[in-house]
Amino acid sequence: MELFDPYLEEFHLGGEFYRLFEHIPKIMFFAKDRKRRLFMGNQRFLEHCGFTSVEELVGKSDIEMFPKYMEDKFARDDKMILRSGKPLLNLVELFPSRDRLPEWYITNKYPIFNKAGSVAAICGLIQPYQLSVDDPDDPISKVVDLIKGSFDQTINIPEISQHAGLSQRQLERLFKKRFSISPREYILRLRVLIAADKLKYTNKIITEIALECGFYDHSYFTRQFKRHMGTLPLKFRKSEGR
């Protein structure tokens, strides 16, 4: 891991703590300044976000890297830490995985204090959600896998509830408790993120991509894409250089 020295001079970090995060399997580490600009990340985080060096990462903000709804959530969390000086723990978030498909991750964010005792930055640890699930027969994990395996089809919530051995009401309650969104909202976000990936990495027409991602009404796809990504599908594709 490389460092961005101008910022680190202000922080009371102690030793070479950051090197620890290069040797913990499946853990991503990052740090941002008070303006929420990235200035540090371990190798796994760099690779996950598509960077080849820390120089490419330095100065980047969330809005340049993630969908609007993600950036909005990250901004709220970061501002809370900057105000309170307290960490936010066990945040369950949908985040693009290394193969570009969205997966659930757990994030823990901590304030970094300067030598005067003020919050000067934020650092975070991100790990795959599955690492925290001890039960291989966990019903909510089964539901997530079912949805991921059939996102391009019509998904019937009562049917997947039954597959997981839950009533629909139980599924809704447990899913929302764990992920803070409903199964339906998860399905929408998953489909939109996969559509965004196809817009970025393929030359398929937008209507075809919408169908492949389970959207059978083009106007509905456009509305949901703008809601989650903050822009229209065509504008998104052009902004990604395609």
pLDDT in tens, 14-51: 445 556 777 788 899 999 999 999 988 999 999 888 89
Residue 92, strand partner residues: 106
Within 8 A by CB and 6+ apart from 112, the residues are 11, 12, 13, 31, 119, 120, 121, 122, 123
* Residue 64 scores a pLDDT above 50: yes
139 with 165: CB under 8 angstroms? yes
* Residue 6 scores a pLDDT above 50: no
3-state secondary structure of 210: helix
Neighbour-count burial for 73-85, b at 16+ CB within 10 Å, e otherwise? bbeebbeebbeee
- The predicted structure's pLDDT at residue 19: 66
Radius of gyration of the chain (CA): 19
> Cα angle at 113 between 112 and 116, to 5 degrees?
170
- The predicted structure's pLDDT at residue 134: 62
CA distance 11 to 5: 10
Percent of the chain whose pLDDT exceeds 90: 52
- The predicted structure's pLDDT at residue 1: 43
**What one-character DSSP code corresponds to residue 223?**
H
How far from each other are the two terminal CA atoms of the chain, in whole angstroms? Answer: 32
3-state secondary structure of 122: strand
Please name the helix (run of DSSP H) or strand (run of DSSP E) that holds residue 104, with its range, or none.
strand 102-113
Mean pLDDT (the chain, rounded): 86
CA distance 182 to 119: 34
Domains along the chain with CATH numbers: 5-131 (3.30.450.20), 139-239 (1.10.10.60)
Q: Would you state the structure tokens that stand for residue 22, as one six-digit string?
A: 């290069």
- Phi and psi angles of residue 110, each rounded to the nearest 5 degrees, phi first: -130, 145
**What one-character DSSP code corresponds to residue 24?**
S
* Dihedral over Cα of 102, 86, 32, 39: its sign: negative
* Residue 3 scores a pLDDT above 50: no
Describe the crossing of helices 168-179 and 183-201 by its angle, rounded to 10 degrees. 60
Q: Would you state the structure tokens that stand for residue 71, as one six-digit string?
A: 């950036």
Percent of the chain whose pLDDT exceeds 70: 88
Within 8 A by CB and 6+ apart from 60, the residues are 37, 38
